[in-house]
A and B are shown apart, each in its own frame.
Chain A
Amino acid sequence: MDRIPILKLGDALLVTIQVDMHDRLATALEDDLTNKIVKHNAHGVLIDISALEIVDSFIGRMLDNIAAVSRVLDAETVVVGMRPAVAITLVELGLSLAGVKTALNVERGMALIQRHHVLEQGADDDIAS
């Protein structure tokens, strides 16, 4: 079965979606990602969708699910590289991706994850002291 590769990038995971997603691939990706978050103790997940020509409610739900599960595992999900035409269409479709953070590119997404992690650590230290 096809799988989408997941790369380790610092203490985050990077997923680049380049193919037309279908159900099995989406389910496999959710499974693989959750396993890798735990295995690598990842603080964030970057999902690069710059190759996607459309995002429909199916993909939108997958992104929301990944973000929700990752959050429970203490990892922040950032969707990066959304094309402008895709963004316009998503809003008109009615998908707000409320649970998902977005950034223009991988670098800015990575910065967002690191900032989030530092803030969290700061909060932990406050509780400890």
Chain B
Amino acid sequence: MTTSPPETLPIRTSDDVVVVRQQVRARAVQAGLGLVDQTKVVTAASELARNTLDYGGGGAVTLTLIDDGIKRGVRLVFEDHGPGIPDLQLALKDGYTTGTGLGLGLSGAKRLSNEFFVESTVGVGTRVTIARWK
């Protein structure tokens, strides 16, 4: 059950990543997450937004406030229509990168989230879904 309409934000520029962080923070506060949990989900969002931008060639994120009747949280879906990830297992390994980063984006975001799901098709794009519950 969701308690407010999902919101979709574009990720086209470095400045968009800043906006994503701010909006994720606002949603996390709305969901009643504590400061540490807010920080974790905003950091995960920052990593994934940067991946969307750097590796996916840009895309969008959809933010949803979630409520299962007992607890609340935030769900974020990052989508791009970039080259896709040929080897997901490898991409999820700490320190693995095809770019110039530290290779902590996906694996780090996974550790910072309560739910984590990646779908990727080469030549079609990538969708990463994470959730953080209160």
Contacts and interface: CB of A to CB of B under 8 A. Distances in A.
**Interface range, A side:** 20 to 34
Interface residues of B, number: 25
Contacts of A95: 102, 104, 108
The secondary structure that dominates the A interface is helix
Interface in A20-59: 20, 22-24, 53-58
* A22, A58, A93, most chain B CB atoms within 10 A: A93
A58 B36 contact: no
Contacts, number: 65
16 contacts: A20-B18, A22-B15, A22-B18, A55-B43, A57-B102, A57-B108, A60-B102, A88-B39, A88-B40, A89-B36, A92-B111, A92-B112, A93-B108, A94-B107, A94-B111, A95-B102
Interface of B: 14-15, 17-18, 21, 25, 35-36, 38-40, 42-43, 46-47, 50, 94, 101-102, 104-105, 107-108, 111-112
Per CB-CB distance, the 10 closest pairs between chain A and chain B, nearest first, are: A93-B108, A22-B14, A85-B39, A56-B46, A20-B18, A57-B104, A54-B43, A85-B36, A89-B39, A57-B102
